[in-house]
Chain A
Amino acid sequence: MVAHGKAGLCSTLVPAPVISAQSLTKKYDDFTAVAGIDFEVAPGESFGLLGPNGAGKSTTMRMIGAVSTRTDGELTILGLDPNTHGPDIRSQLGVVPQQDNLDLDLRVRDNLLVYGRYFGLPRKQIAERADELLEFAQLADRRGAKVDELSGGMKRRLTIARALINDPRILLLDEPTTGLDPQARHILWDRLFRLKERGTTLVLTTHYMDEAEQLCDRLVVVDKGQIMAEGSPASLIRDYSSREVLEVRFGSDKNAEAAERVQGIGERIEVLPDRLLIYSDNGEAELVKITEMGLHPITSLVRRSSLEDVFLRLTGRSLVE
């Protein structure tokens, strides 16, 4: 009885999740794009799905977005079932899809105005918010431009501004920076970081490990429609990799031979076509051991472990092919 009471108390203290998925599945005919995944997202959290192309990230996002109908499993968003309450759920979401779908026939500011009306918001309120959001997206001087005239990064920022027009409870971002140049990515990350600081719940997908590390409090690593691991970026690195990685190159013809000889050095070794990755808490020390064996790599580099290493460990493949 006492244990019961405690559990009851706990469940009122921990905030209820804004998204909850159990055995969530999506099939296209015979092909399974999402193969029964489980996860929860807490309010105010910044949650990521990290995985390569074709992992099922966009499919998952479209189900969370209450657009794509699930084939099987359970899904609740804001406590509601998307099968029966799609419009209600979507009225509280902001969505940045993988492919921009701004209206090319409308000008920059008009895109925000018409979109705000889809939520039934009063025109005056939309106009005010549109101007604030154009400032936020650093597009105020482009308000009258045609969408076609914007750069890729500007279009992306406009899509984010549009997704915020209804002051959403959850912001869904599907590969927000894919295809952008480094400078445009950094501007975007800065904007997303501000949203995160303001307490907006973010759910984002990416196949960039640096993006996941920068923006996500917690993430799931997905591959072939399944969740391979879950945790904060730091805990995933701690659990699935060593502190440091020594990368050595011997030239492509000697790579395999060198791999044979260094067996046993470090905690674990990954053999890539062009280089060896030696996982260890002290990369320099391993390099010394290799040199003492009479091996002389053409180049060597000691770096910290990243989510890329986690992914390699979990799947045997690289994130970005």
Chain B
Amino acid sequence: MTVTDDARRALTSGAAPRRFGALYILEHRIRALRGYAWSAVMTSLGNPIVYLFALGVGLASLVPAGIGGVSYLEFVAPALLCTAAMTVAANETTYPIVAGFKWNPIFHGMNASPITGRQIVHGTMLFIALRMTFAVAVYYAVILAFGAVPSAWGILSVAIAVLTGMAIGLLISSYSSTLKDERGQLAMVMRFGFTPMFLFSGTFFPLSELPIYLQPIGWISPLWHGVELGRLATYGQPIAPWLIAVHIGYLVSIIVIGLWSTSRTVTRRLAG
């Protein structure tokens, strides 16, 4: 008698968290953001102004002819948008993921409630995507103010940058979620993963300028695929339709696989 009553009550009270758990995690993270909202806003605004000034006014004067028929600033603008998303991704998916198990072990706290490992990952990624959208949107506004977006389709580059940033973030989290100890591995990821990707993905100069044997760095880099799509959106850089599909497919595949593998790692670690 009592068993069925208890069980029935549990099944009832478990229903909402089963369905909405990821949103509850998102809510938690937004509340935690209040503590550092101001510094987040200032960084989101400060960075683009500095970059656009340096590249648009400084570096652009060395490339007076522009690249591929557009000014240098127009050429780099969509790339900058993607790198802004990538920076948010790197900030949020390296140390904070390790911390969630270790230094501020909130993942364990969440998992003691009805929330599952998968919901923790989905909610966290949802939060990162929102934060990224905000940062990229601010960046886009600054880029507009500098007059670096000729095409009316430019606004699409915000979504493209977020897609790119999330692909990169989920690649990083697939690794960082496996770390039980942090002994400099994350610094290595930044040095040998993030930085080369940042520089050699057709970001600041076309990939075709690189020797042919270095170009594969670009092809495997989610950033290159995102930047190519971004250029299509902001100034209509010509790309074959099949290649557009490849770019989008590549980013979406990484996101799907990264979500799956990060969820699996987190779930297994919590159930140990």
The answer to the question of B208 belonging to the interface, with a C-beta cut-off of 8 Å to chain A, is: no
Q: Which residues of B contact A86 (CB under 8 A)?
A: 114, 116
The answer to the question of B18 belonging to the interface, with a C-beta cut-off of 8 Å to chain A, is: yes
Q: Is the CB of A114 within 8 A of B27?
A: yes
- 87-102 of chain A: CB within 8 A of chain B: 87-93, 95, 97, 99, 101-102
Q: Which residues of A contact B91 (CB under 8 A)?
A: none
Q: Is the CB of A91 within 8 A of B10?
A: yes
In the assembled complex, the CB of A87 is this many whole angstroms from the nearest CB of chain B, namely 4
In the assembled complex, the CB of B7 is this many whole angstroms from the nearest CB of chain A, namely 4
Given A105-B35, A106-B32, A113-B31, also A79-B20 (CB < 8 A):
no
In the assembled complex, the CB of B170 is this many whole angstroms from the nearest CB of chain A, namely 23
Q: Is the CB of B13 within 8 A of A67?
A: no
Interface stretch of the complex, out of A11-19, A227-235, A255-263, A292-300:
A11-19
Give the A interface residue count (CB, 8 A): 41
Q: Which residues of B contact A91 (CB under 8 A)?
A: 10, 13-14, 17, 113-114
A86 to B113, CA, bound (A): 9
Find the residue from A91, A97, A104 having the highest chain B CB count within 10 A: A91
The answer to the question of B272 belonging to the interface, with a C-beta cut-off of 8 Å to chain A, is: yes
Q: Which residues of B contact A69 (CB under 8 A)?
A: 271
Given A90-B113, A115-B109, also A67-B104 (CB < 8 A):
no
The answer to the question of B154 belonging to the interface, with a C-beta cut-off of 8 Å to chain A, is: no
The answer to the question of A193 belonging to the interface, with a C-beta cut-off of 8 Å to chain B, is: no
The answer to the question of B110 belonging to the interface, with a C-beta cut-off of 8 Å to chain A, is: yes
Q: Which residues of B contact A16 (CB under 8 A)?
A: 1-3, 6
A166 to B10, CA, bound (A): 12
| Smallest CB gap from A147: residue in B | B104
Q: Which residues of A contact B105 (CB under 8 A)?
A: 99, 101
Q: Which residues of B contact A115 (CB under 8 A)?
A: 109, 113
The answer to the question of B28 belonging to the interface, with a C-beta cut-off of 8 Å to chain A, is: yes
In the assembled complex, the CB of B233 is this many whole angstroms from the nearest CB of chain A, namely 36
Given A78-B7, A86-B116, also A103-B18 (CB < 8 A):
no
In the assembled complex, the CB of A199 is this many whole angstroms from the nearest CB of chain B, namely 14
Interface size class of B (residues with CB under 8 A): 35 or more
In the assembled complex, the CB of A31 is this many whole angstroms from the nearest CB of chain B, namely 13
The answer to the question of A68 belonging to the interface, with a C-beta cut-off of 8 Å to chain B, is: yes
The secondary-structure label for the interface of chain B is: helix
A103 to B11, CA, bound (A): 28
- 73-92 of chain A: CB within 8 A of chain B: 78-80, 85-92
A120 to B270, CA, bound (A): 21
The answer to the question of B245 belonging to the interface, with a C-beta cut-off of 8 Å to chain A, is: no
Q: Is the CB of A88 within 8 A of B6?
A: no
Q: Is the CB of A88 within 8 A of B28?
A: no
A105 to B33, CA, bound (A): 9
In the assembled complex, the CB of B213 is this many whole angstroms from the nearest CB of chain A, namely 44
In the assembled complex, the CB of A286 is this many whole angstroms from the nearest CB of chain B, namely 49
A98-133 Cβ-contact flags toward B at 8 Å (1 or 0) = 010111111000100111011110000000000000
Q: Which residues of B contact A95 (CB under 8 A)?
A: 112-113
- 1-50 of chain B: CB within 8 A of chain A: 1-4, 6-7, 9-11, 13-18, 20-21, 24, 27-28, 31-32, 35
- 210-225 of chain A: CB within 8 A of chain B: none
Given A87-B14, A87-B115, A88-B14, also A106-B271 (CB < 8 A):
no
Q: Is the CB of B18 within 8 A of A87?
A: yes
Q: Which residues of B contact A56 (CB under 8 A)?
A: none
The answer to the question of B106 belonging to the interface, with a C-beta cut-off of 8 Å to chain A, is: yes
Q: Is the CB of A169 within 8 A of B9?
A: yes
Q: What are 21 inter-chain pairs, A to B, with CB distance below 8 A?
A: A16-B1, A18-B6, A67-B271, A68-B271, A69-B271, A86-B116, A88-B10, A88-B114, A92-B13, A92-B14, A101-B109, A101-B112, A103-B28, A106-B31, A106-B35, A114-B28, A115-B113, A118-B110, A119-B13, A166-B13, A169-B10
Given contacts A18-B6, A102-B109, 10 further A-B contacts (CB under 8 A): A67-B271, A79-B3, A79-B10, A87-B115, A90-B113, A92-B10, A93-B112, A103-B28, A110-B31, A120-B17
The 5 A-B pairs of least Cβ separation, nearest first, read A120-B16, A88-B14, A79-B3, A118-B113, A79-B7
